[in-house]
Amino acid sequence: SAETNLRLTLPLTCVILEVILIILFAVLVEYDHETDAKLWHKHLLQHNDSNYNNDFYYRYPSFQDVHVMIFVGFGFLMTFLQRYGFSSVAFNFLIAAFALQWATLMQGFFHGMHGGKIHIGVESMINADFCTGSVLISFGALLGKTSPVQLLLMAVFEVTLFATNEYILLSILQAKDAGGSMTIHTFGAYFGLVVARVLYRPQLDKSKHKNCSVYHSDLFAMIGTIYLWMFWPSFNSAITAHGDDQHRTVMNTYYSLAACTLATFAMSSLVGPGGKLDMVHIQNAALAGGVAVGTAGEMMLTPFGSMAVGFLAGTISTLGYKFLSPVMEKKLKIQDTCGVHNLHGMPGILGAVVGAVTASLATREVYGDGSDVFPEIYAGNFSASEQGVRQAISLAVTLGMALVGGVIVGFILKLPIYSGPPDTICFEDAIYWEVPGEMESQEELGTVMSEEVQKPLNS
């Protein structure tokens, strides 16, 4: 239909954005000293260093895991929708490919220029993927209800807001948030929820029959879930300091997620009709443990501490999916397709709180000398309590940024100029995609299957 015809809007948006990016990169972006041929060789000579000490080897494996989470994890987790798989994977792909380039510029600007240039390397790539993650979280709240043009535009603004917030938290407030419980999860979730509220669709129940999964789409989604779960330790540790920090963050996240999984299965069965498990919980809530130790992961949270946090996160998240999301939809008019509030919102706040508490307990007895985790405390610039307070303020700033930014961007996206779908055909690939046939056998498959499920009940 003309209303959802992308032919003018999408090519124009993509081309304009990419041309601007290329021009800005030409003017502003350079290889950093570990990536540039001349600078690296100069470094080797001056510091008598070895090629084996190029930061590439100490960050790239973790970077690749983060990259897989962004493109496979998020992309496939959202394929649970029965008729929106193409859009889920491919719009995720598109937004992420754009956002990581734009984030390189935004974060580079805030991070500090070198002689008027932004320097890039594996660490800036990790940070760009982190920023992209928060845009994809917001996408999750809006999944099925926007055009790709709206998503690209949202990314333009959200990346800028993310970079600003990140700068305020990490550079001004000197907060620690290695795994982004605040900068990525809390920010991305509440920003997305506010945008969803502004874009509230009163007739969305007309598309209700598509806002759900079918058997095999739930299996595709599990590909996403399992990858996110397995690689979250790399995510939380990717930009922590070399050595024990990376190692410890991986362990804390690993144990938090393991405990979270047990909690999720327990809660899901407890609240399910006939004690049955719900795939939505397993797909999403089992990941909350990773979010909840995003901030504290690099701290001396202790293994059992990580497990306790993870168990709590899985419990809260599952109960959120079961009881809170319906309420938020009815009372607050927030139509949160993926339930990001339950996976990234509440666990993000939990992560910030756990981080604040753990930071306020940082002592020399626990951390020893020369801690990379709390350089300011160790330099004597402020006490552990003060660090804890700064963490708490950071949470407040993040929420404020997400709420205000979400309202503004929400109204920008409300303009009817982006080829968005009407309420009646949301969660539907056929609007934006040439969708192939499905096969007659599927239809017969349905009949045969429902007969068989009946048999044991009747016997």
First to last CA, the chain: 50
Interacting positions 279-338 with a second copy (CB under 8 A): 279, 282, 286, 300, 302-304, 307-308, 311
Which residue, 360 or 393, is less far from a second copy as judged by CB? 360
Where do the H-state alpha helices sit in 144-243?
148-167, 187-198, 215-237
Q: Which of 162, 167, 231, 321 binds a second copy (CB under 8 A)?
A: 231
Smallest distance from a second copy to CB 162, Å? 17
Q: Which of 198, 223, 357, 361 binds a second copy (CB under 8 A)?
A: 223
SS3 per-residue string spanning 44-102: HHHHCCCHHHCCHHHHHHHHHHHHHHHHHHHHHHHHHCCCCHHHHHHHHHHHHHHHHHH
Interacting stretch for a second copy, rule CB under 8 A, among 187-195, 197-205, 271-279, 322-330? 271-279
Interacting stretch for a second copy, rule CB under 8 A, among 216-224, 330-338, 341-349, 394-402? 216-224
Q: Which of 115, 202, 275, 380 binds a second copy (CB under 8 A)?
A: 275
Smallest distance from a second copy to CB 67, Å? 5
Interacting positions 413-442 with a second copy (CB under 8 A): 419, 422, 424-425, 428, 430-442
Could you give the angle at the alpha carbon of 110 between the alpha carbons of 104 and 115, nearest 5°? 90
Contact letters (x/-) for a second copy, 385-414, by CB under 8 A? ------------------------------
Dist. CA 207–CA 272, nearest whole Å: 25
Which residue, 415 or 445, is less far from a second copy as judged by CB? 445
Could you give the angle at the alpha carbon of 450 between the alpha carbons of 444 and 456, nearest 5°? 140
C-beta neighbour count of 376 within 10 angstroms: 14
Smallest distance from a second copy to CB 76, Å? 8
> Considering CB under 8 A, how many residues would be counted as binding a second copy?
168
Smallest distance from a second copy to CB 338, Å? 16
Interacting positions 144-173 with a second copy (CB under 8 A): 148
Dist. CA 65–CA 380, nearest whole Å: 36
Q: Which residues pair with 114 in a beta bridge?
A: 117
Which amino acid makes up residue 233?
P
Dist. CA 143–CA 326, nearest whole Å: 17
Smallest distance from a second copy to CB 286, Å? 7
